[in-house]
Amino acid sequence: MNSISVRALLVRGMLAGLVAGFFALVVAYLLGESPVDSAIAFEEAHSHEHGGEELVSRAMQSTAGLATGVLVFGVAIGGIAALAFCVALGRIGRFGPRATAALVSLGALLAVYVVPFLKYPPNPPAVGDPETIGKRTTVYFLMIVLSVLLAVAAVILGKRLAPRLGNWNATVAAAAAFIAAAGIAFAFLPSFNEVPKDFPATVVWDFRLATLAIQVTLWTFFALVFGHLAERLLVPSAARTAAAESSTPSRTASAAG
């Protein structure tokens, strides 16, 4: 793949990330703001310090601040995923641009978010000891790095085992190795349980489900939009037309049958 194609895919990845970020923003506003408000109300009700002036109002945080954060994150993660797509295309199997985009998005969702989520689930405001925030942040990003490295190692292992075991068995073996290695990391990394005893459990649950829904929405729309844009760039229009025409008779025949 030449540098022009990589540059074009990077731009399309950032554009797809922006579109995906918009849909994730909608989910964040509809599902995430309510538990955040409940957590802030709990924090204010149990705080011994009152009357402090907010540097940024809550209204600004829940609108412009939220939009800026989600959209910038979408653009950044879209560019990174586009570069990962360039590396993966043609190297993880005989998949086209759409399928490769879907696989990269699924792998990113699992490695970058779901696996770290299982070890260190996010907490709403008022949860967590301020004195441990540095340590918690460090081990969380360490878990992300480990998860990504283990995912890459699993893909390499699966490719090397495929000639001997077949694609299916090699995939199962690589997935099992990934789960086992992630389990070892879970066992050795420290855990934190800093939810106050009287903090509403439903608020924690709703907040964590909201963050998961945001990530699923982000990566789903990125896969759909970027897969479409990448296919239009990499697959000639004549080939797309021929593929569509070749599939039309089979659909017509199956409908007639």
Residues of the chain with pLDDT under 50: 50-51, 238, 252
Q: What is the pLDDT of residue 252?
A: 47
Cα angle 173, 174, 175 (rounded to 5 degrees) comes to 90
Which of these, 42, 49, 37, lies nearest to 196 by C-alpha position?
42
pLDDT in tens, 90-117: 887 778 899 999 999 999 999 999 999 9
pLDDT in tens, 191-212: 888 777 878 888 889 999 999 9
Distance CA 79, CA 68 (A): 17
Domain ranges of the chain: 1-43+58-127+198-236, 128-194
Distance CA 239, CA 36 (A): 49
